[in-house]
Structure 1
């Protein structure tokens, strides 16, 4: 069963790296095309996606094995809760910034999230 946790950790790491690289490139392109405020808004959207996903991955894959079944379920549940709370926190925090480009923020968040889905679909096939 430890192999299952190791596989999950490796998959989570691949997803987080892909999301981070995609988000960084997206933020740099946005900054180059539309300026500093848009670039920082894009980066904020990326962070609002990647950081909660990293916390979820850490919490979700810290236990493995049939004897730890309850701990595994509890870890996934805690990870999902913390991910939601952190995502809400990030959005509340970035909306305090007066020069926030809301459309850029949400577009970069969505693009970063879609990177996760695309990668997982490609890995499955």
Structure 2
């Protein structure tokens, strides 16, 4: 029963942080489209998704197992999730620039803002 509570708390924390990222992405895209252009907004959406998708995959791996009896599985799953997050982010950046011809400044700015929003949401929720 305690194991489920630990995993549940982690999942809830990750879900909240991902929801914050989606809200930030939506605001970035709307502001970019309004203040600049649709092309910049598209590139901002791509950059934000490059942050959101790997974080979602990581959360799935990180909170798949819990409990002292599954300590080795928890560590292995966490490590796999971290590696997959990095590889997926690199692949998505390559796709964004090679195939989608995204605007680099908009992609990197949106990636940075949504990544920081994820960290801040995690930090804020952890303090509660």
| TM-score interval (norm. to shorter) | over 0.9
Structure 1 residue runs of 4 or more that deviate by more than 3 Å after TM superposition: none
Instruction: Output the TM-score relative to the length of structure 1.
Output: 0.94
Superposition RMSD in Å:
1.3
Matches within 5 A, 1:39-54: 39-54=41-56
**Aligned residues, how many?**
125
| 2:71 matched residue in structure 1 | 69
2:33 alignment partner in structure 1:
31
2:87 is matched with 85
Q: Distance in 1 between matches of 2:75 and 2:13?
A: 18
Q: Please say if residues 14 and 122 of structure 2, whose CA atoms lie closer than 8 Å, have aligned partners that are also in contact.
A: no
- 2:64 and 2:100 map into 1 onto residues whose CA distance is 39
1:16 and 2:15 equivalent?
no
Unaligned runs of 5+ in 1: none
Distance in 2 separating the partners of 1:51 and 1:71 = 23
Distance in structure 2 (CA, Å) of the matches to 1:121 and 1:59: 20
Return closer, same or farther for 1:33/1:78 CA change in 2, 3 Å cut-off: same
Distance 2:12 2:76 in 1: 20
